Amino acid sequence: MFKLIESRVNELFKYNTDGLLNGRQIGVEKESLRVSPEGSISQSEHPISLGSALTNPYITTDYSEALLEFITPPYEHIESVLDFLRDSQVYVYKKLQQDEILWATSMPCVVAGESSIPIANYGRSNAGQMKSIYRRGLGHRYGRAMQVIAGVHFNYSLPESFWPIYKDLIGDSELSLKDFQSEQYFSLVRNLQRYGWLVPYLFGASPAVCKSFLGGAETNLKDFDKNTYYEPYATSLRMGDIGYQNNKENESGVKACYRNLDSYVQTLQCAIETPFPEYEKIGVKVNGEYQQLNANLLQIENEYYSTVRPKQIVQTNEKPIVALKKRGVRYVELRSLDVNAFDPLGINETQLRFIEIFMLFCLLAESEQICFSEREDIDQNELLVAHHGRDPGLKLNHNAKQLKLKDWALNILDGMQSVSELLDQHKETTPYQDSLNYQREKIMDPELTPSARMLNEMREKKEGFYHFAKRMSENHNKYFTSLSLTEERNQFFDDAAKKSIEKQKEIEASDTLSLDDYLQAYFKQT
């Protein structure tokens, strides 16, 4: 099935791998809720000691004022990524209110209802108000509870020096190097979607959910105990149909197209400009206060839910699709990782090494265009694995046939073997091959997956989801509070916090437009 990748890897073996991949960029974003000792969502403001959530590049907030987001800089080595992620969480623990802790799982407990979820506040600047209005709109459209599901995002890019070599290897001489790079990143994105169901199977850690999360809504989930819903073979309910979905886009036929950069930009632009009657009922500016940025299918590009995004670094007040159109794809963001409750950092080295192998595999493997029927298969496979991934009889859809998950997964990992060897080339040890072998064990024995481990531990300790998550959160609290930072690293975070506050003040002082005019100018970008 993967003969093309073998020939490409064999060609790349002719180069020194360290030189070939020297300068690649790996980054991680991890979300985590601030909660009270009882596990309820914190009602306090984002600590001022952490700086401005609008402008701090390393410690910010996502949907809610209580939903922290830790962002690592891009590093070449996975060890550096994990060191920074650990240190940023140690730093935050030193700044939290004494009784607050960080929730250890992707799924929250919303024990006091949606009104207990405070929307993130980014200050009085136009840019800050726009971010808060967007979040208010998300709450109206999908409910606030959906927005405080936490995850881990993996960002990856190849070095600039890689692309001329790869272009020669493929024999593509027509495109400019920038266009070739974007084209190949879209090939990677299509394959990440095709084979992306592997991620929730291997790393899914949300097979159960607190009943309070659904707020009394009807569900097909089963009772684990009086306070917990679950699915016996679930891997990641976060990635299932109780998670964040753009169902309205499916109803109206608007779907992002991953054929190429132009198609992707055009379909998202169409969704941002297409009114939707249900959102028009909400209103945009009601009694002088914005309830959402607009009444269209998407307020902005980020509202479009996808397990993977092609991305470009945006400049001040620049729309993401404008950045993509102008400068091409800079990196790819994989968004389907659950927070790993069994690791205080939320992710570990073995996971990250596998994800890097997976990324390179998806780039090097053949990547045909996604037709309508395959698009349906991709969506269906994602849901099947999310809800039933550990079912030994589960079959997935592939090329108008059904394949057992186990057989298909082993086939994909066999295709990844040569990539792991490429990444381990000239190393004294084999960390990438070791990671791949461990994932193979999880395919052979689903009981080794985080989702199975979680349910088994809940049964052994006779605890529901809430008590499991609370116990793990308290363990992580002890881990982080037992650590200390070097003086240099502590000063680094102190400086970032201070600079971010100064930068927010500068942004607020520099506004010359009214909010209405600012938003109008923003959406006029083409």
Per-residue pLDDT, 246: 45
Decide if pLDDT at 251 tops 70: no
Interatomic CA distance for residues 82 and 475, integer angstroms: 19
Which helix (H) or strand (E) element contains residue 210? strand 208-210
Residue 252 predicted with pLDDT over 60: no
Residue 286 pLDDT more than 50? yes
Statement: residue 123 has pLDDT above 70: yes
pLDDT at 250 over 70: no
Is residue 514 exposed (0-12), middle (13-18) or buried (19+ Cβ within 10 Å)?
A: exposed
What percentage of the chain has pLDDT greater than the value 70? 97
Q: Which residues pair with 311 in a beta bridge?
A: 331
pLDDT given at position 111: 72
pLDDT averaged over every residue in the chain? 94
Distance CA 378, CA 364 (A): 20
pLDDT tens for residues 435-466?
Answer: 999 999 999 999 999 999 999 999 999 999 99
Q: What is the C-alpha to C-alpha distance for residues 202 and 351, in angstroms, rounded to an integer?
A: 9
Q: What angle do CA 316, 58, 318 make, to 5 degrees?
A: 15
In the three-class reduction of DSSP (H, G, I as helix; E, B as strand; rest coil), residue 56 is classed as: coil
Task: Please say whether the beta carbons of 57 and 71 come within 8 A.
Answer: yes
pLDDT of residue 83: 98
Joined together, the tokens standing for residue 58 give: 């390393």
Q: Is the Cβ–Cβ distance between 190 and 91 less than 8 Å?
A: no
- Residues in contact with 271: Cβ distance below 8 Å, sequence separation at least 6, in sequence order: 249, 254, 256, 296, 297, 298, 304
In order of their start, the domains of the chain are 3-524 (3.30.590.20)
Written as six digits, the tokens of 165 are 């070599």
Supply the DSSP string of 449-493, one letter for each residue.
SHHHHHHHHHHHTT--HHHHHHHHHHHHHHHHHT----HHHHHHH
User: What's the pLDDT tens digit per position in 112-121?
Assistant: 888 889 999 9
Q: What is the pLDDT, as a whole number, of residue 183?
A: 97
Q: What pLDDT is attached to residue 465?
A: 97
Check whether 173 has a pLDDT greater than 80. no
Mean pLDDT of 44-58: 97
382 token code pair: 């994602």
For the segment 214-223, the average pLDDT, to the nearest whole number, is: 92
Q: Answer yes or no: are the C-beta atoms of 205 and 340 closer than 8 Å.
A: yes
- Residue keyed to tokens 């849901």: 383
d(C-alpha 23, C-alpha 331), whole Å: 13
Phi, then psi, of 99 in degrees rounded to 5 = -95, -5
Is residue 46 over pLDDT 50? yes
Half-sphere exposure of 62 (CA within 13 A, CB side): 24
Phi, psi for residue 394 in degrees, rounded to 5: -65, 130
Instruction: Using alpha carbons, select from 354, 300, 308 the residue that is nearest to residue 332.
Output: 308
- Closest to 310 (Cα-Cα) out of 134, 152, 188: 188
Mean pLDDT confidence for 252-277:
90
Question: Quick one: pLDDT at residue 182?
Answer: 97
Kindly report the backbone phi and psi dihedral angles of residue 432, in degrees, each rounded to the nearest multiple of 5, phi listed first.
Answer: -70, -45
Cα–Cα distance measured from residue 480 to residue 220, given in angstroms and rounded to the nearest whole number: 38
Evaluate if residue 518 carries a pLDDT over 90.
yes
Tokens, residue 526: 């083409």
35 pLDDT band (50/70/90 cuts)? Answer: very high
Q: What is the pLDDT of residues 387-403, one digit of tens each?
A: 999 999 999 999 889 99
- Cα gap 131→526, rounded to integer Å: 20
Q: What is the rounded average pLDDT of the residues 152-165?
A: 96
